[in-house]
């Protein structure tokens, strides 16, 4: 019998596992494979160049799976922001089953999604933000620890502490994000009050992930020390794979007078995307979490999800049950 939680019931999925929304990686090829495996696959909206391209990707996704799936819409400050409202409108019009938001306050968009009857997930890196977010009527919160890939916030609090605090402070169901990639992680998250786990880096290293095999092999060969934190001087910290570019950026950032213009070319999104396409792991910066140290193979999504679910059930029923005398 699969592990059943509030997450599986709310989202209508078989296993309490969610695929993270990843720039340039969250495409229909990967997301449909995750959904077909019984977890929740997520398309990344801003990976698509226009709202109409997102509409096409959602429809392509529906051709590839009959199971629930989601779309991630990350709201970030920018000199020239993307047309967020137009992306949100497409998500509503296409009746996507689940939408995950992250970044800035999503209140305006959550209202749109709720009115359209969509299930909502919002990602938070602090308990205070999670408490504010649950007042919006969000269905599930995603609590992101310091170990995560991408933006972990500025408080540097690990998943172990954040999840335990969430159990004390939240009434909305929450999932664990940041540092999760195997059955032991799922069981520990459940013990800490979470209703499931979110995995990004782990799903990057699957057969269906639309990135070069050399990047996947670099993940397998790496360990838990193989990430770097960029943009700390600008209070916009991001965790990425520790490659030649990341090391160079860190060196530049040691200058007390550093400006973003000093590193802009090195960290451009175009360079990071090229790494995924060409397999040159050192050409640009690309996201990776500390869970990279727990990744030792490149399975299919079906193999990965089934393994995690099966092993987690065994740990709960057999290994932990032995402790009760």
Tokens read off for 199:
């995995």
Rg (CA), the chain: 19
For the beta carbon of residue 66, count every other beta carbon within 10 angstroms: 10
Question: Tokens 């570019």 belong to which residue?
Answer: 245
Tokens read off for 254:
């040691």
Residue 240 pLDDT > 90, yes or no? yes
Q: What is the pLDDT of residues 273-320, one digit of tens each?
A: 999 999 999 999 999 999 999 999 999 999 999 999 999 999 999 999
- Say which DSSP state 282 is in: T
Q: What torsion do the CA atoms of 213, 216, 218, 222 make, to the nearest 10 degrees?
A: -160
Helix, coil or strand: residue 69:
strand
How many residues comprise the chain? 325
Report CA-CA distances (Å) from 194 to 69, 172, 318. Answer: 20, 10, 21
* Average pLDDT, integer, range 147-167: 96
The closest of 151, 139, 160 to 6, measured between CA atoms, is: 139
Confidence at 125, pLDDT banded by 50, 70, 90: very high
- Three-state secondary structure along 7-67? HHHHHCCCCCEEECCCCCCCCHHHHHHHHHCCCEEEEEHHHCCCHHHHHHHHHHHHHHCCC
Q: What is the pLDDT of residues 175-195, one digit of tens each?
A: 999 999 999 999 999 999 999
Write down the pLDDT at residue 1. Answer: 76
**119 close to 11: Cβ distance less than 8 angstroms:** yes
pTM comes to: 0.96
Buried b (16+ CB within 10 A) or exposed e, 203-215: bbbbbbbebbeeb
Write down the pLDDT at residue 114. Answer: 95
Q: What is the pLDDT of residues 36-63, one digit of tens each?
A: 999 999 999 999 999 999 999 999 999 9
Residue 80 pLDDT > 90, yes or no? no
Write down the pLDDT at residue 172. Answer: 98
Confidence at 25, pLDDT banded by 50, 70, 90: very high
* Average pLDDT, integer, range 197-224: 98
Sign of CA dihedral 183, 118, 236, 270: positive
Write down the pLDDT at residue 325. Answer: 83
Residue 79 pLDDT > 90, yes or no? no
d(CA 122, CA 111): 13
Write down the pLDDT at residue 203. Answer: 98
């Amino acid at each position: 019998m699969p592990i059943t939680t509030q997450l599986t019931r709310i989202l209508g999925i078989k296993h309490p596992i969610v695929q993270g929304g990843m720039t340039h990686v969250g495409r229909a090829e990967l997301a449909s494979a995750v959904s077909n495996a019984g977890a929740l696959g997520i398309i990344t909206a801003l990976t698509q160049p226009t709202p109409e391209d997102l509409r096409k990707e959602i429809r392509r996704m529906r051709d590839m799976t009959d199971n629930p799936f989601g779309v991630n819409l990350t709201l970030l400050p920018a000199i020239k922001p993307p047309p967020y409202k137009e992306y949100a409108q497409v998500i509503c019009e296409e009746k996507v089953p689940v939408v995950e938001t992250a970044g800035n306050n999503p209140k305006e968009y959550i209202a749109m999604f709720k009115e359209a009857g969509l299930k909502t997930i919002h990602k938070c890196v602090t308990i205070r933000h999670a408490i504010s977010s649950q007042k919006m009527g969000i269905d599930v919160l995603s609590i992101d620890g310091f170990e995560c890939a991408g933006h972990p916030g500025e408080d540097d609090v690990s998943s172990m502490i954040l999840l335990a605090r969430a159990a004390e402070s939240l009434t909305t169901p929450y999932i664990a994000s940041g540092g999760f990639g195997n059955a032991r992680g799922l069981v520990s998250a459940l013990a800490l009050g979470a209703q499931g786990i979110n995995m990004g880096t782990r799903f990057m290293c699957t057969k269906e992930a639309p990135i070069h095999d050399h990047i996947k092999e670099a993940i397998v060969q790496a360990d838990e020390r193989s990430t770097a934190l960029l943009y700390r001087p600008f209070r916009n910290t991001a965790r990425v794979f520790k490659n030649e570019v990341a090391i160079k950026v860190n060196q530049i950032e040691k200058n007390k007078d550093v400006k973003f213009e000093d590193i802009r070319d090195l960290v451009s999104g175009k360079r990071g995307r090229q790494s995924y396409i060409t397999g040159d792991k050192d050409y640009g910066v690309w996201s990776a979490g500390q869970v990279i140290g727990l990744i030792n193979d490149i399975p299919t999504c079906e193999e990965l999800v089934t393994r995690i679910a099966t092993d987690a059930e065994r740990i709960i029923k057999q290994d932990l049950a032995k402790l009760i005398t």
